[in-house]
Structure 1
């Protein structure tokens, strides 16, 4: 690595956007308090951010091909900085969602695909996997700094200062734009496929909306939906509608290719096994990470009663080990192959999940929790060190932005599904466990069961057990029944958390199935920084 300037500028953008998400995750309790809302509302804001990025990431990649990658990167940073300013000043939850979820999400959708392509353009040969390892390490640094910085600022000052600081960082990146070189595009520039962009955004939006609302609506039996279909909850119908729209998107893209028009994305790229496998692992990685980073702060803040700074301190081991591992393992793929390193990472994550399950108790064991988080960070760092290069190595030079769009679509779709799916499983398991315990508890009277049933019909929230105690006291229940109800809810909380973490373990185990076509050690030695494509075609050649 002889020139670090472009990597510093591009890596700062990556760092900033990872920092953003990790700050929001540790600030959940304060956001609930500041905006007088519920955890599910903040979950929706977090999910909407990832959803906007996932829905428009391919569009952002295509814009890079049309307008130029550096230009779109810089324009995206301006949009992102504007969203940060709106977020810092947001007076209501709606304005927060507009600034953070929508405007920042659109800015990130422009920045990240162009960033991936610009890294590949700036570094070649043996430097390229190192560059992507550094990018992964900076993502780990964002996760490392986010909980601690965000927790401290949220606890002792205000979370708004973090987003105000992001505006300053954006201005600094824009001032250093001349460090980023860009290869002039060859041939005619493609046109934007507006119909494809609309169909892809709508399809992805419906799928994630269905998963997000499953905790409130119910999966099959209606819980608290705005409407029902044939007596069933609308969840599966909304997800199915999203799948149909995505099928229409695929048909439209094939139609455009057949008629010689520019598609939003060449679906033939997904026919390359190494690229497809890398994208699937990327989706899994972010589903696992964001799912855990939604559930764990709830355990620390709501169950254990820690403030945002104390939460950040307890998340520091996963952040620090992820940073160190992703930087140290950047060259490991060349010796062992990305496939072996990724499988080793998944085994490490399984160990961390099992260890974490053992720590979810009414009173936290800080030593056990520390080591579980440290092992989790090692697994995530191993993945981060390999996947960026594994994705881009399957692309030709003219495909960088397009593949970058697919890369960050998979990444942010995993983030959206992680927050939505794990969040809905957690709330659903909490409601089921609480209902069962209330029905089976002989200490509770019929009045207590009726009061609880009415509350559950209105929807269950993941709140401190003391709030349940206060609600039971306001209902006029005897002290013994108040304690029994509070104890049942506290046990249900732990049960919901265990179900959520166990689901993450299941996803980790299933991820082994999509690692088969990742590059092996022989591939890495033959062509540093590249991987063979389907049918043995040269990745430097456009399909």
Structure 2
């Protein structure tokens, strides 16, 4: 058992990194109330958290090479604990964003690449696959416990206690920090590429910012915008600017490598087919997962009127099956290659999303919803059981930290884009369906249609029908037309949710194109085509 005690500490840290995101997702309604804000503001805070992690994850991996992975893991936990403490006492939304989104995000960016490299360095062969299955399973456990724990605490006490508890868990991990060993071999001194770190962070931030703000600004036709570009909404221009900065980042990295200076990212790593495929699939997996975990709580809380704990109970099936499938990865790997398992996971995930879309109705069918969510978790768990091991096993020891940085960058960029993109599609579809419905409804006069159009241009948020009714009455809408406006909004809610969730099915389907270069050997050292044993 001694050889597994390091995994207990590393796995607990992984559990912690996942826990508070799921807590935030089920606490959206309470956060909106506590901070007197809107759903889109909480969406921005959640997106910023994953964006900060994505922006600094590669840098965190490189700092692990410079200062040592074990040391970076411990220091990152301290930073994460400070962020959790600030979050627990945050008096305003801006302090919440600073403590959770920024400080905790930076701490996680220091911890996670080191964690991935430490696991890969501690274990080999089948043990490594088992270890990554456990890590993936504990991530699933975080998703399982988060909605239940966060939902119960949020409903009966306050969500702040979850973050106060995280400070205690961080302190306990640090007490057993000595169990972790760094097996990396000391090499030449590595220097941090500060320019590359800045360019990558700015580029990623601009891309995600553009996608996030598309629901407010509009994609082409400007709605509620701070400025226009040649008469168009700035959304695509901001995304394009991010792409340009990322292009400069790549050019700068090639320049540093040509001068024999340490780049932040060696783009030659992307020439490893398995690594490249694993990273893309991790991005897509998290885009779908976090996108769905943003919109589904809205369906349960805003439309169905459930509280945070009831929402957590409805999310339990996805969490349980994800935990089970993640932990079963090493066993499944004895009978099927990684490519086969990943393809099965994508197929199951695609079927689950279609089933889920069919069940999104004004009245919740608990059994239908639970079965769809259980199938969703099974597909996610099959992916989680394989992809971390694919990434780390595709590179050598010297590249572990860099691969870990890329791994968690892909995951958190996917999370950022998932919350931003799926959330933007939700609001965009809400606007489109609502506008079309009121225009086609003969019960609604031209004056009220025009009034609703002005309100839509000023910005729309995903709120309850009761809030829409109150706003319509306060705006002087004739009593005979209030019901028609509310009915149109209720129809738009369901339509927009289905559209946003269906987008996840499209992303899942696209994932099949990136499975061709995944390893085909079964777990346990089956020979590769070149005759060498699997790592």
TM bucket normalised to smaller? over 0.9
Distance 1:189 1:404 in 2: 19
Change (3 A) 1:119 1:522: closer
Structure 1 residue 108: Cα displacement: 0.2
Alignment of 1:155-170 (within 5 A): 155-170=155-170
Is 1:223 aligned with 2:209?
Answer: no
Task: Give the conservation status (yes or no) of the 8 Å contact 1:362–1:494.
Answer: yes
Q: Deviations over 1:177-203 (max 9, x none)?
A: 000011253221210000000000000
Distance 1:381 1:453 in 2: 44
The residue number in structure 1 matching 2:270 is: 270
Alignment of 1:468-483 (within 5 A): 468-483=468-483
Distance 1:377 1:232 in 2: 41
The residue number in structure 2 matching 1:72 is: 72
Distance 2:356 2:390 in 1: 29
Structure 1 unaligned spans of 5+:
none
Task: Give the conservation status (yes or no) of the 8 Å contact 2:338–2:522.
Answer: no
The residue number in structure 1 matching 2:42 is: 42
Change (3 A) 1:246 1:334: farther
Is 1:495 aligned with 2:495?
Answer: yes
Between 1:516-525 and 1:188-197, the stretch displaced more is: 516-525
Distance 2:81 2:473 in 1: 47
Task: Give the conservation status (yes or no) of the 8 Å contact 1:427–1:460.
Answer: yes
The residue number in structure 2 matching 1:19 is: 19
The residue number in structure 1 matching 2:467 is: 467
TM-score, length-scaled by structure 1: 0.96
The residue number in structure 2 matching 1:313 is: 313
The residue number in structure 1 matching 2:436 is: 436
Between 1:445-454 and 1:25-34, the stretch displaced more is: 445-454
The residue number in structure 1 matching 2:513 is: 513
The residue number in structure 2 matching 1:178 is: 178
Structure 1 residue 328: Cα displacement: 1.5
The residue number in structure 2 matching 1:252 is: 252
Structure 1 residue 2: Cα displacement: 5.9
Is 1:347 aligned with 2:347?
Answer: yes
Between 1:45-54 and 1:430-439, the stretch displaced more is: 430-439
Distance 1:242 1:338 in 2: 34
Distance 1:159 1:500 in 2: 27
Distance 1:55 1:71 in 2: 21
Distance 1:292 1:537 in 2: 41
The residue number in structure 2 matching 1:426 is: 426
Structure 1 residue 156: Cα displacement: 0.5
Structure 1 residue 331: Cα displacement: 3.0
Q: Deviations over 1:13-38 (max 9, x none)?
A: 00001011000000000000000000
Change (3 A) 1:515 1:148: same
Structure 1 residue 4: Cα displacement: 1.5
Structure 1 residue 3: Cα displacement: 1.9
Distance 2:233 2:242 in 1: 16
Structure 1 residue 109: Cα displacement: 0.2
Change (3 A) 1:523 1:150: closer
Structure 1 residue 536: Cα displacement: 10
Between 1:477-486 and 1:358-367, the stretch displaced more is: 477-486
How many residues were matched structurally?
535
Task: Give the conservation status (yes or no) of the 8 Å contact 1:134–1:330.
Answer: no
Is 1:457 aligned with 2:425?
Answer: no
Q: Deviations over 1:262-315 (max 9, x none)?
A: 000111001111100000000011001001000100000001110000000000
The residue number in structure 2 matching 1:53 is: 53
Task: Give the conservation status (yes or no) of the 8 Å contact 2:525–2:533.
Answer: no
The residue number in structure 2 matching 1:295 is: 295
1:4 is paired with a residue whose SS is helix
Task: Give the conservation status (yes or no) of the 8 Å contact 2:125–2:534.
Answer: no
Distance 1:434 1:524 in 2: 55
The residue number in structure 1 matching 2:106 is: 106
Distance 2:189 2:265 in 1: 14
The residue number in structure 2 matching 1:203 is: 203
The residue number in structure 1 matching 2:403 is: 403
TM-score, length-scaled by structure 2: 0.98
Structure 1 residue 517: Cα displacement: 0.5
Distance 2:474 2:523 in 1: 67
1:126 is paired with a residue whose SS is helix
Structure 2 unaligned spans of 5+:
none
2:183 is paired with a residue whose SS is coil
Is 1:328 aligned with 2:331?
Answer: no
CA RMSD of aligned residues (A): 1.5
Change (3 A) 1:335 1:396: same
1:158 is paired with a residue whose SS is coil
Task: Give the conservation status (yes or no) of the 8 Å contact 2:526–2:533.
Answer: no
1:335 is paired with a residue whose SS is coil
Q: Deviations over 1:80-102 (max 9, x none)?
A: 00000000000000000000000
Change (3 A) 1:34 1:249: same
